[in-house]
């Protein structure tokens, strides 16, 4: 380990790489979070260690573990970052900015929230809304998030939360596909949500609920709801579409409903937030607007 640098602060990017790796316990996870390569994150951390003259991590194949000196340094880093966040909020208030940052699941952001953003802008013309789409759980202590729109609230037991809506799925397809005859004999579009798939009714559940024999599994499988909706619009197959997310496609006729029943998802969507969010200008009004928007979802 090189001698520590005296009187000169290390690069902020190196400190951020260290803090992210310490929080996630993995260079690969830190790289994903920072949109860098794992090699770049590792290099920045080594530069920080050389600058400080101490080892910060014990490296292993399964991840990284803080050394005792690294844990001490992390406490100061996290305190400094929190001070910076408080300072940013103070500056925003002083400027009268109504900057709200919303994290949301990608399909919920693109198919439900974003189409209605114009209505919010009309209500709050001086506000600044930032929309960030992600599947990852939101760490409010280490991100700019004010609100998070999520499926279920199990990842946020200590935060404030408001139930938005519980969606339901129903068979839909393009008008062209419906005109080709018995849709049950056409390709079916499937969704794979990983561990969350247990909360999303699939084709087997739908055919059973309809009292029909499920056809052999065939067709396309997607892990992103928005891609599955696009495929259905393109006539690639029938989809169990979420009514709250295909409102525009149904209204325009790009998708048409095929049959009942409509099956509910096993969990509702929520908006979650720390109590401090409501201290920001426009936050309470935005929360009320989200609740009103959710009433139109299903």
Q: How confident is the model at residue 196 (pLDDT cuts 50, 70, 90)?
A: confident
298 — pLDDT class (breaks 50, 70, 90):
low
Mean per-residue pLDDT for 166-188?
A: 94
pLDDT in tens, 75-129: 999 999 888 887 877 676 555 456 899 999 999 999 999 999 999 999 888 888 9
Average pLDDT estimate for 150-160: 92
What DSSP string describes 221-271? EES-HHHHHHHHHTTS-EEEEETTTSHHHHHHTSSEE--SPPEEPSS-EEE
Most confident of 128-132, 135-139, 147-151: 147-151
200-213 as b/e: b if 16+ CB within 10 A: bbbbeebbeeeeee
Q: Name the residue with tokens 């600044």.
A: 128
17-67 pLDDT, tens digit per residue, is 999 999 998 999 999 889 999 999 999 999 999 999 999 999 988 889 999
Distances in Å between the Cα of 226 and the Cα atoms of 112, 148, 218, 254, 294 are 11, 19, 20, 14, 19
What's the CA angle centered on 164, arms 24 and 33, to 5 degrees?
Answer: 20
Domains of the chain in start order, with CATH, are 12-92 (1.10.10.10), 98-165+268-296 (3.40.190.10), 168-264 (3.40.190.10)
């Amino acid at each position: 380990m090189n001698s520590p640098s005296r009187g000169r602060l290390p690069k902020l990017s190196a400190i951020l790489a260290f803090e992210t790796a310490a929080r996630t316990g993995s260079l690969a996870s830190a790289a994903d979070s920072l949109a860098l390569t794992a090699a770049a994150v590792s290099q920045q951390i080594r530069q920080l260690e050389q600058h400080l003259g101490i080892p910060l991590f014990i490296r292993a194949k399964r991840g990284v573990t803080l050394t005792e000196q690294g844990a001490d340094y992390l406490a100061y880093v996290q305190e400094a970052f929190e001070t910076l966040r408080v300072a940013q909020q103070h500056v925003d208030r002083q400027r009268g900015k109504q900057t709200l940052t919303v994290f949301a699941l990608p399909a919920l952001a693109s198919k439900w929230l974003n189409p209605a953003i114009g209505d919010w802008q009309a209500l709050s013309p001086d506000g600044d809304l930032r929309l960030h789409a992600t599947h990852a759980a939101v760490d409010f202590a280490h991100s700019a998030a004010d609100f998070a729109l999520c499926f279920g609230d199990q990842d946020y037991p200590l935060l404030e939360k408001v139930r938005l809506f519980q969606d339901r799925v129903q068979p839909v397809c393009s008008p062209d596909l419906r005109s080709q005859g018995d849709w049950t004999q056409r390709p079916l579009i499937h969704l794979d949500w990983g561990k969350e798939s247990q909360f999303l009714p699939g084709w087997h559940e739908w055919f059973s609920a309809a009292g029909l024999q499920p056809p052999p599994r065939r067709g396309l499988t997607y892990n992103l709801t928005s891609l599955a909706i696009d495929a259905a619009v393109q006539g690639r197959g029938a989809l169990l579409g979420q009514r709250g997310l295909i409102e525009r496609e149904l209204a325009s006729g790009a998708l048409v409903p095929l049959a009942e029943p409509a099956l509910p998802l096993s969990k509702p969507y929520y908006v979650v937030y720390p109590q401090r969010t409501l201290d920001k200008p426009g936050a309470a009004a935005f929360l009320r607007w989200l609740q009103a928007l959710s009433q139109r979802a299903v």
